[in-house]
């Protein structure tokens, strides 16, 4: 006997971070509201015709890879079935795919915005018992950046539903003559501002706690984290694509998985970096997304997995999560 003790440990006591495959780039071909679809096929064709040249530029922007490897690029499209449902999947999706094809584009993955949220406020469909709703999970991972000189008076984001990128203006009276304390107005200030502040206060949800309606900006933040392969639920991958390449589309949105794989030969859905080609009206929303992503705590295991995989391919991935996202806002889109 050597005297060495054998230690037995429950496997379940060490949740493992599930691995996901990675493309080099996740390229979003658009995000339209239901009212955009209501304008008909001509609206969809105009959209993809405007997107096409910028898609080519984004593909070219991936740059050369080591050993002459070709970049893995997957495309995706996000449909808003969370805030409204003016049509059914059977009526809406085929014209969308046809319009993309007419512009020479292929949508590899189709995602439902409600999949990034809690149970849908439209239908009230319950979330699976063994899964934490994604929006709620990301909310609990927010770590607010304390602005310089803060005293902890501001209520936490989990209570207010508002997240900032700096210090709000004090709420005292703006006139010293009307304020017995002598306090005067002070402007808001962006944390880490370069010369001048661009202050933003982002609403993450509204409504009572048990019936929260998540904001477009917050759901878009979840969407980015999913595309980057950085979200897990107790170690398990979330919004894993389901093959739908040879299936018909149903009449009920809740009959569809959160992410559909429409192209059987597509590169992986998750990617080291993302690029989104969006109408200009989404610019303030995506600014808010960057404010949110800058304050999300991502699991170290998920980050390490991406870093290790990228290093093995000789690919450099930005350290900051927010720096892994990019956008194109074509004029007239």
Domain boundaries, the chain: 17-140+205-328, 166-199
Give the pLDDT mean for 6-15.
48
**Which of 77, 2, 32 has its CA nearest to residue 266?**
77
Smallest Cα–Cα separation from 203: which of 188, 190, 216, 192? 216
Query: For residue 264, which of 248, 249, 247, 243 has the smallest C-alpha distance?
Result: 243
Please tell me the chain's helix, strand, coil percentages from 3-state DSSP, rounded to the nearest 5: 35, 20, 50
CB 48: neighbour CB atoms within 10 A? 24
Largest CA distance in the chain: 87
Residue 269 has pLDDT above 60, yes or no: yes
Q: 203, 220 in Cβ contact below 8 A?
A: no
Q: What pLDDT band is residue 69 in, cutting at 50, 70 and 90? A: confident
Lowest-pLDDT choice from 7-21, 40-54, 260-274, 279-293: 7-21
Name the most confidently modeled range: 174-178, 182-186, 211-215. Answer: 211-215
- Decide if pLDDT at 270 tops 60: yes
Residues 6+ apart with CB under 8 A from 223: 78, 111, 113, 116
Q: Is the pLDDT of residue 290 over 60?
A: yes
What is the Cα–Cα distance from 323 to 257, expressed in whole angstroms?
A: 29
Q: Averaged over 152-179, what is the pLDDT?
A: 73
Query: What three-state secondary structure class fits 195?
Result: coil
**What is the value of pTM for the model shown?**
0.87
- Structure-block tokens of residue 190: 């962006």
Query: What does the pLDDT look like over 258-268, one tens digit per residue?
Result: 999 999 999 99
The mean per-residue pLDDT over the stretch 287-297 comes to 96
Residue 101 pLDDT: 97
C-alpha–C-alpha distance, residues 144 and 172, integer Å: 23
Predicted pLDDT of residue 11:
46
Contact 78, 108 (CB under 8 A): no
- The Cα-based distances of 156 to 54, 61, 145, 191 in angstroms read 40, 40, 11, 17
């Amino acid at each position: 006997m050597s005297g060495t003790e054998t230690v037995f440990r429950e496997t379940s006591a060490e949740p493992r971070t599930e691995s996901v495959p990675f493309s080099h780039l996740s390229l979003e071909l658009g995000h339209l509201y239901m009212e955009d679809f209501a304008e008909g096929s001509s609206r969809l064709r105009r959209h993809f015709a405007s997107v096409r040249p910028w898609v080519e530029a984004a593909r070219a922007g991936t740059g050369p890879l080591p050993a002459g490897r070709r970049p893995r690029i997957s495309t995706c499209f996000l449909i808003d079935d969370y805030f409204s449902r003016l049509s059914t999947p059977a009526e809406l999706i085929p014209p969308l795919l046809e319009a993309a094809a007419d512009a020479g584009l292929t949508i590899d993955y189709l995602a439902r915005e409600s999949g990034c949220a809690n149970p849908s406020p439209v239908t009230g469909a319950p979330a699976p018992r063994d899964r934490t709703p994604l929006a709620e999970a990301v909310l609990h991972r927010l770590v607010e950046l304390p602005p310089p000189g803060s005293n902890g008076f501001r209520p936490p984001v989990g209570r207010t539903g508002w997240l900032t990128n700096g210090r709000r203006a004090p709420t005292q009276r703006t006139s010293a003559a009307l304020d017995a304390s002598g306090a005067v107005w002070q402007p808001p200030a962006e944390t880490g501002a370069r010369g001048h502040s661009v202050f933003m206060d982002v609403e993450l949800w509204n409504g009572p706690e048990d019936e929260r309606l998540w904001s477009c900006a917050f759901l878009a933040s979840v969407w980015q984290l999913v595309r980057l392969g950085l979200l897990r639920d107790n170690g398990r991958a979330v919004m894993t694509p389901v093959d739908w390449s040879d299936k018909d589309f149903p009449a009920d949105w809740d009959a569809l998985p959160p992410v559909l794989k429409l192209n059987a030969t597509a590169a992986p859905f998750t990617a080291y970096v993302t690029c989104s080609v969006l109408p200009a009206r989404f610019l303030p929303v995506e600014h808010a997304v960057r404010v949110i992503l800058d304050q999300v705590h991502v699991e170290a295991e998920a980050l390490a997995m991406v870093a290790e995989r990228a290093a093995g391919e000789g690919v450099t991935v930005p350290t900051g999560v927010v720096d892994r996202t990019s956008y194109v806002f074509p004029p007239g889109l």
